[in-house]
Amino acid sequence: MVTHVRAEAQGDERGALLSFLAEQRGGIRRSVLGLTEEQASSRPSASELSLAGLVKHVAEVEQGWIARAKGVPPAVARDRSNWHECFTLVGDETLQGQLAYGEEVAAQTDEFIRSAPSLDDTFPLPNEPWFPPDERVSLRWLCLHLIRETARHAGHADIIRESLDGRTAFELVALERDGA
């Protein structure tokens, strides 16, 4: 079961940031409610994206950013040769396995952000052409980036789910609330 972080419970900036991130993760998670593996892996729109692929991608990206902030390599190394695999289930991966992984990543993120001495602490951006060289960012920037990244993909998930069966984000919130 997912635990939702509430800003009111923390009453601080970290609580607020983690609450917004949890809300966006919830949009991704709810997008697959009641779907089969086949439905979640289908691509019903013009995009190559699937709901299962988005579940996997969002968890993998979040884990990678937290790893970088900790100064360790991401759990999965991606480059041009395997980048496409972060958007699709491969091998023995399952939707349920990716949802569980996403929950683990979320818990690790929350613990890391809550235990950091300051949101002003910085870490270097990856040495990639789309980032400025030798740039450092704060943990606050990281939280905002994760919210932005997850929200963008939650929007994709809304469109894909509605293309599959007509269900909208609001209907899925009610479905989750009612324990489906």
CATH of the domain at 167: 1.20.120.450
Residue 144 corresponds to which amino acid? L
Token pair 């929200």 is at which residue?
151
Say what the pTM is. Answer: 0.90
7 has pLDDT over 70:
no
Most distant pair of Cα atoms in the chain: their distance: 49
User: Residue 133 falls within a domain, yes or no?
Assistant: yes
What's the rounded Cα separation, in Å, for the pair 145 and 134? 18
User: What pLDDT, on a 0 to 100 scale, did the predictor assign at position 123?
Assistant: 97
Could you tell me if residue 2 is inside a domain?
Answer: no
Q: Which structural domain, as residue segments, surrounds residue 70? A: 7-177
65 lies in some domain: yes
Rounded to a whole number of angstroms, the CA Rg of the chain reads 17
Whether residue 124 is contained in a domain is answered as: yes
Number of domains comprising the chain: 1
Q: Is residue 1 part of a domain?
A: no
> Does residue 107 sit within a domain?
yes
The residue-averaged pLDDT of 99-114 equals 98
Q: Average the pLDDT over 60-81 and give the result.
A: 94
